[in-house]
Amino acid sequence: MANLKEVKERINSVVSTQQITKAMKMVAAAKLRRAQDKITQMRPYSQKLTAILNNVSSGSEGSSDLVYADKREVNKVLIVPVTSDKGLCGAFNTNIIKATSAAINTEYAGKHITILPLGKKALDAFKKREFDIVTDYSNVFADVAFDNVSAAAEYAMEGFVNGTFDKIVLVYNEFKNVATQIVRNEQFLPMEQDASEEQTSTNVDYIMEPSREYIVQELVPTSLKIQFYKAVLESNASEHGARMTAMDKATENAGELLKELRLMYNRTRQAAITNEILEIVAGAEALGGN
């Protein structure tokens, strides 16, 4: 059985850890609120802009020379895994890395793979492997602003237009609620028009100035950047939700461990007192016998 000093040190260590996890949970909860507000405000805008774009580009006039919809044989693939900069958020980062690796080994086996990691955890996971790595945008979560994210989107879009990449894929966590994040493997380019959105949007007749072609060319890059930005916001909200859940569970586990350690401490202390009493009684009897 451990002595009192060892048990006391373990209790103090667990108490300190519990205070840290509780503080991290509160910080994550505050950040989650802001991140959740951003993504809930972004979703309707992104969906409406996509619907308008589908309607405008569905006609032959707008889609005949749309470079971002150019479908060709896939030999060179750019994969954009979106993770966090920090850990202590459960399986949040691991799920993205596993999903990315699974896609590389199955769907894109034999293709030339380039990785554009967003988040330091993705960079650390793939920089030691044999893939080409684009490191310029890995610190995007230092400041989750549209301008910073759109720079990464522009790099991907330019690479698709000039033929550097035949297909671009986003792998990220979609925020559902605090306890649930859904891993998405989403094709970014070439553009794919959703059938349901196309059917609902074709009922709307827009008046376009100066022309359909001009509107399409202006809308497409903006829509793609917003789609890219939305994936980053989804991941950002998911990260804080995952960290809040992980720290809440860690705090609960620390509480359970403290109960066990305090019970052990009391038992050890009681055993030590009992031994001391037995030694005193034995000594007294020995003196009385003499």
Catalytic residues: 89
Q: How far apart are CA 29 and CA 237, in angstroms?
A: 10
Q: Is residue 272 part of a domain?
A: no
pLDDT at position 64: 46
The answer to whether 75 and 111 have CB atoms below 8 angstroms apart is yes
CA angle at 196 for the pair 73 and 205, rounded to the nearest 5°: 105
Which of 88, 96, 146 lies closest to 119 in space, CA to CA? 96
DSSP state of 171: E
Which of 77, 69, 97, 84 lies closest to 28 in space, CA to CA? 84
Query: What are the CA-CA distances from residue 10 to residues 7, 106, 206, 249 (Å)?
Result: 5, 47, 69, 19
Q: Is residue 255 part of a domain?
A: no
Contacts of 217 (CB under 8 A, 6+ apart): none
CA angle at 153 for the pair 151 and 157, rounded to the nearest 5°: 120
Q: Is residue 257 part of a domain?
A: no
Question: Which residue range(s) make up the domain with 95?
Answer: 23-246
Place of tokens 């150019």: 70
**Model pTM score:** 0.84
Per-residue pLDDT of the chain (290 residues; tens, 9 = 90+): 568 888 899 999 999 999 999 999 999 999 999 999 999 999 898 888 877 776 766 654 444 457 888 888 999 999 999 999 999 999 999 999 999 999 999 999 989 999 999 999 999 999 888 889 999 999 999 888 999 999 999 999 999 999 999 999 999 999 998 889 999 999 998 887 654 444 444 456 667 777 777 777 778 888 899 999 999 999 999 999 999 999 999 999 999 999 999 998 888 888 888 888 888 888 878 877 65
pLDDT at position 59: 54
Q: Per the structure, how many domains does the chain have?
A: 1
Q: Is residue 9 part of a domain?
A: no
pLDDT at position 273: 86
